[in-house]
């Protein structure tokens, strides 16, 4: 068929797709302005209620002692083959079995996996990374340095750079979004997957268009599309919005100590410390709309019944995309979003059972 004819036939579809994307971005921009107004009021209220803290975040000069706890593992750096960036990671149990690689979410870092590093280092080589832009890892400032493709290449380089051909991928929140994608595009590198509190991007897209309430739960995503303003709002009154997120009586991490809170705030308080993590969100809508994808990697999915940010209905939506027999899903009663830190014992029981046949 002549190229001119093919172009003519495809033209209506291309125009429709461009119009759809333009409409989507207009909605995203309007939602971003609305959420910016709401969060601006929240941040201003924090400043007025705590005037001594001022309008900026206090830079932390010394990391808290818990970040250098030797029982958690050895601190190392790995130069990535694809990008040349250096990623920081904590490693323990080398030589004790398969690689178990942990990917954290926002607003966290490698330290969010402290309980799992203690628990599994006796039978696995456990590695918790600071993802690109976080902690002591390199943090390019350009938004285009945080596309899903580049972040997946980081995970591939970590696995191969550590000397393995596959791993058990354990991930939460944003790390789990990456893990879902990674298991689809690099299936040979993932032997098993443990996903906590996150859905594949295509599932989230389809579910949210039919359940508008999910958009309200994830309203901060729209705020984070804006340049520089989210960094300013999150840092006001010495990072009070982040403090509330992590320590709220109902929505936060139970029993988080002041030192453990500082383990997360320390990195965000450094110059530009919030820009890299927020750039993940600024790339979320880049490839929408997404096509449905079949999921086949053997996966343990853990979900909190009281998750403030994600509805339970997403679990059923995820299950409908799986090859039969490949997904084991559990909804933990009375539990929120931060399962690896709030309910480590329950998480560990499910993980040991799920991985038992690999221990031989």
User: Could you list the active site residues?
Assistant: 173, 281, 337
The phi, psi pair for 293, rounded to 5°, reads: -125, 140
Q: Which of 49, 68, 72 is nearest to 243 (CA)?
A: 49
323 token code pair: 């090859």
What's the number of CA atoms in the CB half-sphere (13 Å) around residue 134? Answer: 26
**Which residues on neighbouring strands pair with residue 167, listed in sequence order?**
190
Q: Which of 279, 244, 236 is nearest to 264 (CA)?
A: 244
Cβ atoms 65, 93 nearer than 8 A: no
Cα-based angle 253, 259, 263 (whole degrees, multiple of 5):
75
Alpha carbon distance 143, 22 (integer Å): 20
Cβ atoms 72, 90 nearer than 8 A: yes
**Which residues on neighbouring strands pair with residue 163, listed in sequence order?**
none
Q: Which of 332, 333, 337, 358 is nearest to 347 (CA)?
A: 332
- The torsion region of residue 122 among left (phi > 0), alpha (psi -120 to 50) and beta comes to alpha
Chain-centroid distance, C-alpha 197: 9
Q: Which of 127, 133, 189 is nearest to 162 (CA)?
A: 127
DSSP code at position 295:
B
Alpha carbon distance 215, 36 (integer Å): 15
CB atoms within 10 A of CB 169: 29
**Which residues on neighbouring strands pair with residue 302, listed in sequence order?**
196, 330
């Amino acid at each position: 068929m002549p190229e001119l004819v093919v172009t003519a036939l495809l033209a209506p579809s291309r125009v429709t797709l461009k119009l759809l994307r333009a409409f989507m971005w207009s909605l995203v921009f309007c939602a971003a302005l609305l959420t910016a107004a709401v969060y601006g009021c929240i941040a201003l209220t924090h400043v007025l209620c705590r005037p001594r803290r001022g309008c900026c975040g206090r830079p932390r000069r010394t990391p808290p002692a818990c970040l250098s706890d030797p029982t958690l593992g050895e601190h190392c750096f790995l130069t990535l083959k694809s990008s040349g960036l250096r990623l920081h990671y904590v490693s323990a149990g080398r030589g004790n079995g398969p690689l178990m690689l942990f990917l954290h979410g926002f607003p966290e870092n490698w330290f969010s996996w402290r309980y799992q590093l203690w628990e599994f280092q006796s039978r696995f080589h456990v590695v918790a990374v600071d993802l690109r832009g976080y902690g002591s890892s390199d943090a390019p400032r350009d938004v285009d340095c945080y596309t899903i493709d580049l972040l997946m290449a980081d995970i591939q380089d970590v696995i191969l750079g550590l000397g393995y051909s596959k791993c058990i991928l354990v991930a939460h929140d944003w790390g789990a979004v990456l893990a879902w994608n990674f298991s689809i595009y690099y299936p040979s590198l993932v032997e098993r997957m443990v996903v906590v509190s996150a859905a594949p991007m295509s599932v989230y897209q389809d579910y949210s268009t039919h359940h508008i309430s999910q958009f309200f739960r994830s309203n901060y995503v729209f705020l984070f599309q804006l340049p520089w303003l989210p960094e300013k709002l999150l840092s006001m009154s010495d990072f009070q919005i982040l403090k509330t997120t992590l320590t709220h009586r109902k929505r936060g991490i139970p029993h988080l100590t002041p030192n453990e809170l500082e383990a997360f705030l320390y990195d965000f308080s450094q110059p530009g410390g919030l820009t890299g993590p927020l750039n993940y969100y600024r790339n979320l809508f880049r490839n929408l709309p997404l096509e449905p994808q079949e999921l086949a990697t053997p996966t343990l999915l853990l979900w909190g019944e009281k998750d403030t940010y994600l509805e339970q209905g997403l679990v059923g939506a995820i299950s409908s995309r799986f090859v039969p027999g490949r997904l084991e899903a559990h909804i933990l009663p009375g539990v929120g979003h931060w399962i690896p830190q709030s309910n480590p014992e329950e998480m560990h029981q499910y993980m040991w059972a799920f991985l038992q046949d690999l221990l031989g």
